[in-house]
């Protein structure tokens, strides 16, 4: 059996099919934009402030860029912007939750300090 270009190509095609080769997935910007919108809504409910609000603003900007790219029929760019917007919205939500948890810890620490002072000033009156 002499290897000819035709036989080599045929063997390569068979190996690719057997190995489960699949073409790259097509961009689905509509799905990505919908997920980014959901992520933004969840982030807004967390009421981000300070740096978290800045990250949320960046996510809104990226979502807007995704919509504009979709209008210009640039699907891959739209999907990338939407994915970045979703990631930043998630980051803003997590930062907002972290800020809320830190505020709760600070509040409880202050309350504990007050209780300790009261106990030191009046040890019998518990």
The reported pLDDT for the residue numbered 124 is 73
Compute the distance between CA of residue 31 and CA of residue 25 in angstroms, rounded to an integer: 13
The reported pLDDT for the residue numbered 106 is 96
| Average pLDDT in the chain | 87
Q: Is the pTM of this model over 0.85?
A: no
What are the tens digits of pLDDT across the range 55-99? Answer: 999 999 999 999 999 999 999 999 999 999 999 999 999 999 999
Compute the distance between CA of residue 116 and CA of residue 68 in angstroms, rounded to an integer: 58
Residue 2 confidence class, pLDDT cut points 50, 70, 90:
confident
34 has a pLDDT exceeding 90: yes
Give 80 or 14, the one with higher predicted confidence. 80
HSE of 88 in the Cβ direction (CA atoms, 13 Å)? 20
Buried b / exposed e along 111-123 (16+ C-beta atoms within 10 A): eeeeeeeeeeeee
The reported pLDDT for the residue numbered 115 is 94
């Amino acid at each position: 059996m002499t290897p000819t270009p035709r036989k080599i190509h045929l063997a390569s095609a068979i190996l690719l099919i057997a190995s489960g080769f699949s073409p790259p997935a097509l961009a689905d910007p509509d799905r990505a934009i919908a997920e980014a919108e959901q992520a933004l809504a969840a982030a807004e409910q967390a009421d981000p402030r300070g740096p978290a609000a800045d990250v949320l603003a960046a996510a809104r900007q990226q979502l807007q860029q995704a919509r504009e790219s979709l209008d210009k029929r640039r699907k891959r760019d739209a999907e990338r912007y939407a994915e970045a917007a979703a990631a930043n919205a998630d980051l803003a939500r997590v930062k907002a939750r972290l800020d809320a948890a830190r505020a709760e810890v600070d509040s409880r620490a202050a309350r504990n300090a007050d209780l300790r002072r009261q106990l030191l000033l009046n040890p019998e009156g518990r």
